[in-house]
Every structure is written in structure tokens, then in C-alpha cells.
Copies of this chain bind each other. A is one copy, B any other.
Amino acid sequence: MPTILGQNQYGKAENRVVKITRDGATHHIKDLNVSVSLSGDMDEVHYSGSNASVLPTDTTKNTVYAFAKEHGIDSAEQFGIHLARHFVTSRQPIHRARIRVEEYAWERIETSGEAEHSFVRRGQEVRLTQITYDGSSWEVVSGLKDLVVMNSTDSEFRGFVKDRYTTLKEARDRILATEVSGRWRFNWTDDEQPMPDWEESYARTKEHLLQAFAETYSLSLQQTLYQMGARIIDHRGEIDEVRFSLPNKHHFLVDLEPFGLENDTADGAVYFAADRPYGLIEATILRDGCAARIPVDLTRL
């Protein structure tokens, strides 16, 4: 046979699960999008179509909903760990499970009454996690996407290489804006280790990321990116690796000279917010001595 099967995985993607817990009149909400991906001894289904080792993707969906009821959802990470362990330990042909979760945040609507069951979706960023388990060790990579940030000053871009195709002018004051997509890998890998506080870790990591973005006087987006990652590694002992993919959301000063108007970055600057093309800056920041495991290309979930 001239062809062989390589890496393969399967499961049910994008199971939308909402869980409401009630503490008297005060309700709490968890709103997740859960994707299951399983690997193992699956050669036969590819070669001959025999499903004898295949747990249906429909079953993985049912399991997600049943586990939300049976075990609750303390955090996206904890929920993913429950699921991954179940698939790997309960089904012999399955050797590896990867659970990806998107989480959508809600805040309460202020009302005059006592009731606390009304919510409005925050919409600022989507929280992410990916749990991988092979029966012996864990990999937990969490992160976020769609977080749009801007510094309206304290950003330069100068001293760069010029070649035959360079026309860009140096900038001493520009807008720096990006839509953060970030992932961070935890050094928790073993059931024997104490588990991080996933909720606290996410809240603090997002805070560090935002503050490093805001407080760095930027000579390049690469430098800002590095500061964002280094700040996380420095402050969060549970995280060993961070990767960011940062589009440079260009804001160009509009040329208003033809209309007799000066438009510089002093007070009252008017910018055109461009769509495409955009600079794209990507890098990994590591705790010294740690190996990189987050893929170069950050994917959707």
C-alpha cells in the first residue's frame, strides 16, 4: 500500500452549553463552547470504514452536557480536565483527548429589585482554554482572543532598515493598537501537583497583559509584545510559556493639507483606521530553561 495514515483526531466541535446555578434569588451563569477531539487506535475506521473502535461524536456531545450536570462547571479548565480524563480512561482505544473551550463573560444588569437573574454579555474578549491528556500527563494552555487595545501615544517607530522598496517615514508619535490573541501554558502537568486557581489565574494574567501594554513606552510592537509576555511570566509562577499574535491595527494620520488643515499628533488628531493589510507580529516568551510547546500559528479555539 503506497499510502499510510498519519496523525488523526475526531470528535464533536462547538457544543454550546449554558449552565445556570441558583443561590436563592441570585443566579450564576457559565456560558461555554466546548470542542472534543479524540485520538487513539483508529486505523481501521480510516482504512476499511469499520467503526468498531469509534465512540460516536454524538456521544461526546452527550457527555459534555451530562458532565455539566453531574460535575458542574467550576471553571473552563476544570471542566475540560474532567472530560479529557473521562474519555482517555473509559474507552480503551482512545489514547489522547483534547478539549477546547471558549467562554463568554456576562455581567449583571443593575435593577431596583432584589432579583439577580438578569445579565448582559460583556463582549470584550473571548476566554479560551485547551486541555490535552494522554493518560499520564496534562497540558493546559489558556488564553484569550478579540481583546482590542489602543495607546493613543507613547509609541514610536524609527531606526529601521531601508531597502529599495522602503517608503515608510519614521514616526515619533503614533497610535499603537492591536487585537490581542494570546495563549499561555501552565506548568501543571501531573495530578500530584497542586492545581492552579484557574479563575484567579485568568483574571490576574489578563490584568498583567493589559497593564504591560499600557505602561510600555513602545519603540516597536515587538518590544511591547515581549513586555506583555515577560510581565506574565514574572508574576505568574504557574505559567511557563506565553505566545501572542498581534495584528498592528494601523491608524493613519489623514492628510488634510489639501484642505488647509494641519493634522499632526498634537491635540485633535484625526486618523483613518485601516482594515487590510496589517502588520502581524507573533512571538513566544518563555521562562528561562523551559521548552516551547505552543504552536507557531494560534488557531481558532
Contact = CB atoms under 8 A, between A and B. Distances in A.
A186 B42 CA distance: 26
A25 to B, nearest CB: 9
A163 B27 CA distance: 33
Nearest to A72: B268
Contacts of A283: 5-9, 46
A198 interface: no
A8 B244 CA distance: 9
Copies of this chain, complex-wide, total 4
Nearest to A58: B168
A72 B7 CA distance: 38
Interface of A: 1-22, 27, 29, 31, 35, 37, 42, 45-59, 61-63, 65-66, 68-70, 72, 90-91, 106, 109-113, 115, 117-125, 146-154, 157-168, 175, 210-211, 213-215, 218-220, 222-223, 225-226, 229-230, 233-234, 241, 243, 247-248, 251, 254, 256, 258-259, 261, 263, 265-288, 292, 295-297, 299
B285 A119 contact: no
B261 A90 contact: no
Given A163-B90, A276-B275, A297-B299, A234 B27 contact: no
Contacts of A163: 55, 59, 90-91
Contacts of A57: 248, 279-280
Nearest to A1: B288
B10 A280 contact: yes
The CB with the most chain B CB atoms within 10 A, among A3, A4, A113, A163, is that of A3
A7 B241 CA distance: 11
21 contacts: A2-B234, A5-B226, A9-B283, A11-B279, A12-B279, A13-B247, A14-B277, A15-B277, A16-B272, A18-B273, A20-B175, A20-B269, A46-B226, A51-B160, A57-B248, A58-B166, A62-B167, A62-B259, A69-B261, A111-B214, A124-B124
A187 to B, nearest CB: 13
A54 to B, nearest CB: 5
A36 B112 CA distance: 37
Contacts of A13: 247, 276-280
A9 to B, nearest CB: 5
Contact of A225 (B46, B168, B259, B281): B46
B56 A9 contact: no
A149 B106 CA distance: 9
A210 B109 contact: yes
